[in-house]
Each structure stands twice: as structure tokens, then as C-alpha cells.
Amino acid sequence: MISKKVTDRINLQIEREMESAFLYLEMASRMVNEGYEGFAKWLTIQYHEEMFHSMKFARFLQDRGASFAVPAISKQEVKETTIKALFERVLAHEKKVTASINELYELALAEKDYPTQVLCQWYIDEQVEEEKNAEEILRNLALLGDSKQGTFMLNIELGKRKASIPLDFTEIGGED
């Protein structure tokens, strides 16, 4: 059985993952409104990944005999006025999520909750990828400078991204 302390902390992480999802959905909406369909697609896939992350945690709680709480998520404000600033926020946000996952891992260590430690390792690996992806986009934007043609080409390139997670949340759990 999973402890209440770990259950509560995982529920907090579910909330944070859903907040991330809605932040990326809001960012995607902004990109669509500005005509950047490729950036919007990349961010929409991020939305789906974050929802997958939250549901993976929820399934984990259920598999261990605990329940998850569906959080109330407020509208995520996106005030950034440039693509560069938007992706700087993406990177800062992913670093915040990484810190949150690390805190959960530390709690699992302290509680000697080995299954949660194993689950957290999956998320730790995922966060390395998330930060790397955001950093790569920022490097590309820095190389492009103010080139509208370059931004247009990066928009096309990011629009080629394919989802790497199941979009059917019933597939979550089991053998990941």
C-alpha cells in the first residue's frame, strides 16, 4: 500500500502536469492565432504528452490501491510577445517540472517507496529529453536571429513532429 504522504504528493504532481498541459495548449492557441502552425503543432503534442504524464501518475495510484484527485486547473496566462520568449518560458517551465519530479523522487527515497522510485526514474529520463528539446529550439532561434525566412523554416520543421505517446489514455500503465 502506498502512503498518504506519497499519494498526496503524486496528486500534486498530477495537478502540475495538467497545468503544464494547459499552458502548452494556450501557447499553441497563440501560435495558431499568429499563423505559426508548426510551432502550434509542436506545442499541441506537448499538451498531449503532459496529459499522458498526468494520467500515467493517476494509473499508478490506482494500481497501488490509492485514488487520484482531479484538480481544478485555472487558465494559463501567456503574455510572451516573441517566439523566443515563449520558448524561454517553455524551458523555464520544464526546469520547474524537473525540480518537482526530483522532489517526489526524494520523498519516495525517504519513504522507502521503491515502486514510486522506479516510476520517478521514468519521469527523470523524460525531463532530460524535455529540457533538451526546448534548449535545441532556443539554440535554433538564436542562430536564426531576426530572420523571418529562418523562423518560417523552423516553423515548418517543428510542424513535422509526430506524437510519441499513446493518445488513448486507456493504454497507460502496464509495460512502459
CATH of the domain at 37: 1.20.1260.10
Average pLDDT, the chain: 93
Percent with pLDDT over 70 in the chain: 93
Is the predicted pLDDT of residue 172 greater than 60, yes or no? no
Q: Is residue 9 part of a domain?
A: yes
Q: pLDDT band at residue 175, thresholds of 50, 70 and 90?
A: very low
CA geometry: angle at 20 spanning 148 and 121, to 5°?
110
Rounded Cα gap, residues 89 and 97, in angstroms: 12
Q: Is residue 63 part of a domain?
A: yes
Q: Is residue 172 part of a domain?
A: no
Q: Is residue 31 part of a domain?
A: yes
Grid cell, residue 10, equals 503524486
Question: Residue 131: what pLDDT?
Answer: 98
Residue 121: C-alpha distances to residues 16, 84, 128 (Å): 17, 30, 11
Buried b (16+ CB within 10 A) or exposed e, 159-171: eeeeeebeeebee
Q: Is residue 18 part of a domain?
A: yes
pLDDT digits (tens, 9 = 90+) for 53-74: 999 999 999 999 999 989 999 8
Q: Is residue 166 part of a domain?
A: no
Question: Residue 171: what pLDDT?
Answer: 53
Question: Residue 23: what pLDDT?
Answer: 97
pLDDT digits (tens, 9 = 90+) for 14-34: 999 999 999 999 999 999 999
Q: Is residue 173 part of a domain?
A: no
Question: Residue 1: what pLDDT?
Answer: 83
Range of the domain at 61: 4-70+79-161
pTM of the full predicted structure?
0.90
Domain count, the chain: 1
CB 9 within 8 A of CB 16: no
Is the predicted pLDDT of residue 126 greater than 70, yes or no? yes
Q: Is residue 174 part of a domain?
A: no
Q: pLDDT band at residue 164, thresholds of 50, 70 and 90?
A: confident
